[in-house]
Amino acid sequence: MRIALNLIGYLPGCGGVETYLINLLTALQRTDTENQYLVLCDEAAASSLPLEVDNFHLKTVAYQNNSLKGMLRGALLRTTGYDILVRELAGIEVDVMHHPLTILNPPGLPYPSVLTFHDMQQEFFPEFFSPKELRQRRMTYQASVQEANAVITVSAHAKNCLVEKYGISPLKVHVVHSGCGNEFYIRELASLSETITTLNLERPFMFYPAATWPHKNHIRLLEAVKLLIDQGNFDGELLLTGAQKNAHWDVNEAIKRLRLEAKVRWLGYLPQNVIPQLYNLAKLMVFPSLFEGFGLPVVEAMASGCPVACSQNSSLPEVGGKAAVYFDPLNVEDIAEKISLIWSDDEAREKIRQEGLLQAAQFRWEITAKNTVEVYRRVSSM
């Protein structure tokens, strides 16, 4: 097969979707030596894509939003409905094109298409989106799913959302779970000494790795920490990492309002090699998100031997299985109670840790890649 991976519109720094893209691309190169791949991307993203084998080739386009051609494309789309990118891509010789960024970009190409659909948070929490972003998602998401020949979802939960909200046939949707990288594993404590010193990690801590988007629910977590402190059930600190997003000001204000400056530290966006070390060092990873298409940090923490307490909603029970402690993310008291269960009980914490190692072993990027190629085969033979 000749397969095109359409990464047009991707730029580094897009969180979980970026993790999916880079790891899928890497795993495909490790596992598929039979098929030929053409990777399409913007010029600005080309240097960030790890292409290392002979059957993977790169083609760049110059349609970034802030470029002259990108602005021309946008103007023509708004005024005439015509997408000039279709003309540029229409002559590519491929058997199937994979669009892994939730939308077809562009729609209307004359190739069998596979679409990876990550989540539809806007259908459940529209209040977290600007009117412009809501309009854009509602114009493109459902139309892309309907046009695609096959849809990959990263969880059964995401598949069910497509069937229930968009009326998509379940036969069209294939669940292919995301994976967990080899960098997440248990390390000897001595190998972590430099990180302990650099980040001043002498006190026990729990860890929440999440950009400050509203749905990540930082403020209720902070209120749960305050409750635990008032009850005398928390003697450590909460470490927060991730990019600063829409709710960042509100999170900082909540830390001040709750007088948690001595108990909560914001470490910001850290190098990717540091995150596995923090999982190894944390007493637990807490994940109070209100909505997830998959929930990579849950698997990553488990693979690193870090016990997990997380929300009981969306895809998270599917990912965590029986190896996590679940709470209602809208209930501060329940969040606090479940954190305390792990934090204060060594035996319970070790049991959850061991179960987590077994659960995480089910999620490997090599499995993701092989199952994705199987979807390509089905679509190319239609």
The model's pLDDT over 118-137, given as tens digits with 9 standing for 90+, comes to: 999 999 999 998 999 999 89
Q: CA-CA distance, 282 to 374, in Å (whole number)?
A: 38
Whether residues 329 and 268 share a domain: the answer is: yes
Q: Is residue 184 part of a domain?
A: no
> Which of 47-51, 173-177, 365-369 is least confident?
47-51
Confidence (pLDDT) at 64: 63
Whether residues 172 and 222 share a domain: the answer is: no
Total number of domains constituting the chain: 2
Whether residues 111 and 213 share a domain: the answer is: no
Distance of CA 47 to the CA centre of its chain: 21
Whether residues 156 and 241 share a domain: the answer is: no
Q: CA-CA distance, 328 to 288, in Å (whole number)?
A: 8
Whether residues 149 and 31 share a domain: the answer is: yes
Residues of the chain above pLDDT 90, percent: 74
Whether residues 92 and 201 share a domain: the answer is: no
Check pLDDT > 70 for residue 51.
yes
Contact call for residues 280 and 254 (beta carbons, < 8 A): no
Question: Ramachandran region of residue 206, left (φ > 0), alpha (ψ -120 to 50) or beta?
Answer: beta
Whether residues 218 and 339 share a domain: the answer is: yes
Measuring CA to CA, which residue among 307, 211, 344, 208 is closest to residue 265? 208
Whether residues 169 and 237 share a domain: the answer is: no
> Which of 7-21, 114-128, 241-255 is least confident?
7-21
Whether residues 328 and 272 share a domain: the answer is: yes
Q: At 353, which CATH number?
A: 3.40.50.2000
**100 band by pLDDT with thresholds 50, 70 and 90:** very high
Range(s) of the domain holding residue 166: 2-179+365-380
Mean pLDDT of the chain: 92
Whether residues 65 and 23 share a domain: the answer is: yes
Measuring CA to CA, which residue among 272, 354, 287 is closest to residue 319? 287
Locate 214 and state its tokens.
């509203």
Whether residues 161 and 211 share a domain: the answer is: no
Confidence (pLDDT) at 65: 65
Residue 135: exposed, middle, or buried by beta-carbon count in 10 A (0-12, 13-18, 19+)?
Answer: exposed
pLDDT in tens, 326-356: 999 999 999 999 999 999 999 999 999 999 9
> Which of 1-5, 45-49, 311-315, 320-324 is least confident?
45-49
Whether residues 269 and 131 share a domain: the answer is: no
Q: pTM value?
A: 0.91
